[in-house]
Each structure stands twice: as structure tokens, then as C-alpha cells.
Homo-oligomer: A and B are copies of this chain.
Amino acid sequence: MSGLTIGQVAERTGAATSALRYWEDLGLIASVRTTGNQRRYERATIRRVSFIRAAQRVGLSLEEIGAALSTLPDARTPTASDWARLSRAWRGRLDEQIRRIEKLRDQLDSCIGCGCLSLRTCALNNPSDVLADHGPGAVLLEP
């Protein structure tokens, strides 16, 4: 076996082939080419792709995922402990995210209590100390 085709990787990971090509363009995954210019993937790519998809489900951007993946060794196939190190880092990330949502939730609760939504002191109107003023969605996941 000289490597997995893009279709095989797609089937095993659930990612679309178009996504796999796109991620390769971005440098998130790598492939070697056959003499006929077709992509062939190492078995370890399955893990990498699974990780990308798991990270996306948490809402992280491909740029951030790429940054995380770049901490894996280039030269050798990543070991379980390489991945474990990454997973520990993600745990911190997820904890942080939970903390932020809880804070917003608690602020909403306090607004329910005081009915103060129009006041300058209301957390809902002045959440700058919790979540900075960024674009939608992604803000929850920023550092």
C-alpha cells in the first residue's frame, strides 16, 4: 500500500475531498503525489484530519488550527504523546471558552434581576471587560 487516496481519507474522516484539498492549500495537511499527479496520504493524516474536524466543531478557525498543528513534529510521525500534548492545550482552550459563556450567562441573569438593560452600568450593555468588541461568532474563541 502506497498511501491513501483523497477519497479514502474523505470516507474515513467524513471530510469532503474539496475540504481536504483546501486544507492542503492552507498547509494544514500534506500529501505526496503519484507519477500521475494524484495525491497520496500517509495513514497519520487521518489523525490530523480528525483533529482538524474536532477543532472546527469547537469553533476554531483554520488559521488557529494550523498554528496548533504546526507544533507537531514535521520529521517523524506524531506519537500518541505528541497528540496528548496538543489535547491538553485544547482542554485549556475549552475551559476558557466555557468560562466566557458562563460569565455572559451570569450577566444576563443579573440583568433579569435588575431590569437594567438600558443602564450604562449593565453588563449587557458594557461587556467590554468580558468579551472584546470583535466580529460575530469567532469572538467566543479568541485568546
Task: Give chain A's interface residues, CB within 8 Å of chain B.
Answer: 13-14, 43, 46-47, 50-51, 54, 56-59, 80-81, 83-84, 87-88, 90-91, 94-95, 97-98, 101-102, 104-105, 108-109, 111-112, 115, 117-118, 124-125, 127, 131, 133, 136-140
Closest 9 CB pairs of A and B: A80-B115, A94-B105, A56-B136, A59-B137, A84-B112, A87-B112, A87-B108, A57-B131, A50-B125
Give the oligomeric copy count. 2
Question: How long is the Cα–Cα vector from A106 to B97 in the complex, in angstroms?
Answer: 14
Contact present for B104 and A94 (CB under 8 Å): yes
Question: How long is the Cα–Cα vector from A97 to B59 in the complex, in angstroms?
Answer: 12
Contact present for B137 and A83 (CB under 8 Å): no
Given the known A-B contacts A87-B111, A98-B101, are A50 and B124 also in contact in the complex, defined by CB atoms under 8 Å?
yes
Please name 7 pairs of A and B residues whose Cβ atoms are closer than 8 Å in the assembled complex, sorted by A.
A51-B124, A56-B136, A57-B131, A91-B105, A94-B104, A95-B105, A97-B101
Most chain B beta-carbon neighbours within 10 Å: one of A59, A115, A117, A139: A117
Chain B residues near A43: list those with CB within 8 A: 118
Contact present for B104 and A139 (CB under 8 Å): no
